[in-house]
């Protein structure tokens, strides 16, 4: 066996014993933690354990009559009702209607908000003129806007798309402007010293720097768009999960209401997960 250089061995030991800045010797942070592979499995297991504990406590409370079935049915009843709802002949049509309203409104909001955010960030004077009106429009409750949009766009799918657009638009706009404003000044000066054009500076510096902020807004607005579509369906609609939810509420079908809420929550998680996946693929350097 070849001998190990004492200098190299000392360096290796020093690196092994090195602590992160601010770490107190003997503290938990000073002890070796879980490796990434262990964390990858431990965290989901802990989350699953919390969910199982919650469901068991919920079931026990229902069996002991601590919670009225009209207020919160037991998990087994809701699970059975979920299967019945999914197999119902109306479910697929309502799911497609709500999903279409959500996605179309969301995509329109994303395109318009990102474009307007770039314009307002580039032209500061225009931003000072336009931005206050955008804020005033946003602070109006979405439920109050729904009747107005129905008058303008009619009771069909257009008003639901408009409401999904309205609710999800502002978040993307604000995050786009914030991301473009956070570009480091030193980097901008470097691009200027390299005689880069405004187009090159935007594509090579400003846009990549703003993308994490933009996608943060896009992730949030994905669920907001779903809420907007549902609010529109609550008021007037011939199809959609929101309309069906109102019908079940008036009929006092608690099992069906909670089953539909679980399915709507699952739809929101799917939409959020798709945007998060695109985020990880596009903003790859952040990982």
Residue 2 lies in a domain: no
Judge contact between 244 and 84, C-beta under 8 A: no
Residue 220 lies in a domain: yes
The pLDDT of residue 32 is above 60:
no
Q: From 112, 109, 117, 136, select the one nearest 224 (Cα to Cα).
A: 109
Give me the mean pLDDT over the 72-86 stretch.
90
Residue 186 lies in a domain: yes
Helices 241-250/91-122 angle, 10° precision: 120
d(CA 163, CA 229): 6
- Angle among Cα 14, 15, 16 to the nearest 5 degrees reads 90
d(CA 81, CA 259): 6
Residue 226 lies in a domain: yes
pLDDT at 36: 67
Q: From 109, 128, 95, 113, select the one nearest 260 (Cα to Cα).
A: 95
pLDDT over 90, % of the chain = 40
Residue 21 lies in a domain: no
Residue 9 lies in a domain: no
Judge contact between 152 and 241, C-beta under 8 A: no
Residue 1 lies in a domain: no
Task: Write down the pTM of the prediction.
Answer: 0.79
Per-residue confidence band for 218, with pLDDT thresholds at 50, 70 and 90: very high
Mention every residue, 6+ apart, whose C-beta is less than 8 A from residue 168: 105, 106, 109, 110, 221, 222, 224, 225, 228
- Angle among Cα 58, 251, 144 to the nearest 5 degrees reads 90
Helix, strand, or coil (residue 9): helix
d(CA 121, CA 175): 11
- Number of separate domains in the chain: 1
For the chain, what is the mean pLDDT? 83
Q: Tell me: the pLDDT tens digits for 142-153? A: 778 888 888 888
Q: Tell me: the pLDDT tens digits for 168-194? A: 999 999 999 999 988 888 888 888 888
Q: How many CB atoms lie within 10 A of CB 2?
A: 4
CATH of the domain at 162: 1.10.3720.10
Q: Tell me: the pLDDT tens digits for 4-15? A: 444 444 444 444
- Three-state SS string over 69-87 comes to CCCCCCHHHHHHHHHHHHH
Range of the domain at 121: 100-286
Residue 6 lies in a domain: no
Q: Tell me: the pLDDT tens digits for 252-286? A: 888 999 999 999 999 999 999 999 999 999 988 77
CA distances to 92, 112, 113, 206 from 225, in Å: 20, 14, 13, 27
């Amino acid at each position: 066996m070849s001998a190990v250089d004492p200098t190299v061995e000392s360096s290796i030991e020093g690196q092994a014993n090195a602590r992160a800045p601010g770490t107190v010797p003997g503290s938990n942070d000073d002890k070796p933690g879980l490796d990434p592979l262990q964390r990858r499995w431990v965290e989901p297991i802990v989350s699953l354990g919390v969910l199982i504990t919650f469901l068991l406590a919920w079931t026990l409370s229902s069996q002991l009559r601590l919670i009225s079935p009209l207020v919160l049915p037991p998990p087994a009843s809701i699970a059975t009702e979920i299967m019945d709802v999914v197999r119902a002949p109306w479910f697929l049509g309502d799911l497609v209607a709500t999903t279409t309203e959500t996605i179309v409104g969301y995509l329109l909001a994303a395109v318009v908000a990102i474009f307007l955010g770039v314009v307002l960030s580039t032209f500061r004077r225009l931003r000072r003129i336009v931005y206050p009106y955008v804020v005033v429009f946003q602070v109006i409750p979405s439920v109050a806007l729904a009747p107005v949009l129905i008058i303008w766009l009619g009771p069909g799918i257009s008003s639901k798309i408009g409401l999904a657009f309205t609710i999800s638009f502002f978040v993307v706009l604000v995050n786009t402007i914030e991301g473009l404003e956070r570009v480091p000044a030193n980097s901008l000066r470097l691009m200027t010293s390299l005689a880069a054009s405004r187009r090159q500076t935007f594509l090579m510096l400003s846009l990549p720097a703003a993308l994490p902020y933009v996608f943060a807004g896009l992730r949030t607005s994905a669920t907001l768009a779903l809420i907007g579509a549902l609010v529109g369906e609550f008021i007037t609609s011939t199809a959609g999960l929101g309309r069906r939810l109102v019908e079940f509420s008036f009929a006092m079908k608690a099992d069906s209401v909670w089953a539909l809420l679980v399915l709507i929550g699952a739809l929101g998680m799917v939409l959020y997960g798709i945007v998060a996946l695109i985020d990880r693929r596009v903003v790859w350097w952040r990982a």
